[in-house]
Structure 1
């Protein structure tokens, strides 16, 4: 038992291990809700307690209910509709999240997961509210689960980055963009989940596209994470910097080789991602691959 506990702690101590951390947090939330649901089933009038738990853990599509329980937005990206939903989300997140993390780093993968889920939830609540205003009969309020939603944000961010990347799926090689589209269409078997997934997928895809133009949609959240990570840490000193120039398609970019205490900046990463989208990963030089790898280590 102690070994399992140590393994969990190590998963949160390791650098650039955010994908596994997301999976573990989702597991904790799932187990907590399952245990609480089981415990209150033995109480008098369990329906009252179950409703209380749902209202305080699961996000409600009703705008007034959400505004009176805003903390459910924090839990939303880590909630699951059931065991099958948890297993599918965890496996897909491990595959596609690890792929995206290799190129953008664990921290950015976490930010895309959380931001995509939050964007989808808020957009759905707004659409539900507008729908109630336009209809004489109010729409039924829905409880929303967000683990698969965050996963689709990551999946389509990977599609925007590497659309022709091939994945072995039951020994059949399928391009990532086709596999992602198939998963998204299948999610519409549940219209509510499908709509949430579509909005999250749109966010993840556009986020990577906008990154190439220099517009980072998640910069406020990333700045907040950097601020928290920097609390209590001494500032790192710059020892030396060296530069070289590389040209692709007539465009030049200054690539900065930094010492072990520094990381490539966003402009360098965006340039390398552009180069990958044009000529593939193999088009990078050895130094450029090293720079991209160093960027992926940034938390």
Structure 2
């Protein structure tokens, strides 16, 4: 995640230096998330690409520093295989809330959004929900519990809506909500990231195949051989049923002889 954010940041800024007009504008238009449903339908990949895209240096720096901190913290408690899936799903949740709000509140208004802020906020709130009393050291402030840091950032985002970046703040809230509900669902036994974990993690797929192989019933190599007595009883039952339905005279001479033989043996 860090690598792709850096690569795309360097690539798009290099393009800006070489061709600040048409090429840069076209590329940005392709990878940003658009608020207009008609545009989004034509460029749905923006729901993924926007969360790896930054143009301003301090924007990417702040996001990647926080992603590094909280991503490693999340990894320490819940393992590495959930980090990328949560990053993606947090970004998707933030993007979908952004689309929904602009469609309902500002219909017809064209806006674009880029940045990993929703994913970073998702990771932060997930950590704060999982371990609310965990303390981290902040410059000029000191030790702060994660729950207060997360709550403070959410409150700052809400009160800055009238003067701030509305689209970005909406995406932050979407990512934060998903981070909270992800941990709550995980604690109740449901992993919302399970499909993406299976997709990205080869070890998980192999373990699932081994588990299915262990639980799959094996066919016995032995063939069932019926005894002659079982065959005789089956034919006797069939002949008696025929007699009940059509009468004794419906039997052939061979069937009558066989039935007479069996009756004498018994």
Q: Same fold (TM over 0.5)?
A: yes
Question: In 1, distance between residues paired with 2:9 and 2:204?
Answer: 27
Which string of whole-angstrom CA distances, capped at 9 and with x for unpartnered residues, describes residues 140-198 of structure 1?
Answer: x1111131111001000001100011111126111111112223344443222111101
For residues 236 and 30 of structure 1, the distance between their equivalents in structure 2, rounded to whole angstroms, comes to 41
| 5+ residue gaps, structure 2 | 212-266
Corresponding residue to 1:40 among 10, 13, 19: 19
Please state if 1:88 is matched with 2:62: yes
How far off is 1:81 after superposition? 4.7
Select which of 112, 122, 137 maps to 1:168: 137
> Per-residue CA shift, 1:101-128, capped at 9, x if unaligned?
1001112122111110011102211222
Match of 1:129 among 103, 107, 118: 103
Structure 1 residue aligned with 2:246: none
Corresponding residue number in structure 2 for 1:111: 85
Aligned-CA RMSD value: 2.6
Pairing partner for 1:213 from 180, 185, 188: 188
Larger Rg belongs to: 2
- 2:245 is aligned to none
SS of the residue aligned with 1:92? helix
TM score, norm. by length of structure 2: 0.70
Flag the 1:128–1:228 CA change in 2: closer, same or farther, 3 A.
Answer: farther
Contact 1:59–1:72 (Cα < 8 Å) also in 2? yes
The runs of at least 4 consecutive aligned structure 1 residues that moved more than 4 Å come to: 227-231
Correspondences of 1:7-22 after superposition (within 5 Å): 22=1
Pairwise mapping of residues 64-103 of structure 1 onto structure 2 (< 5 A)?
64-103=38-77
Cα distance, 1:99 vs structure 2: 0.8
1:67 Cα deviation after fit: 1.3
Corresponding residue number in structure 1 for 2:150: 180
Q: Scaled by the length of structure 1, what TM-score is found?
A: 0.63
Between 64-73 and 218-227, the greater mean CA deviation after superposition: 218-227
Structure with the larger strand share = 1
Unaligned 5+ segments in structure 1 are 1-21, 238-299
Name the structure with the higher helix share.
2
**Alignment partner of 1:152 out of 92, 99, 121:** 121
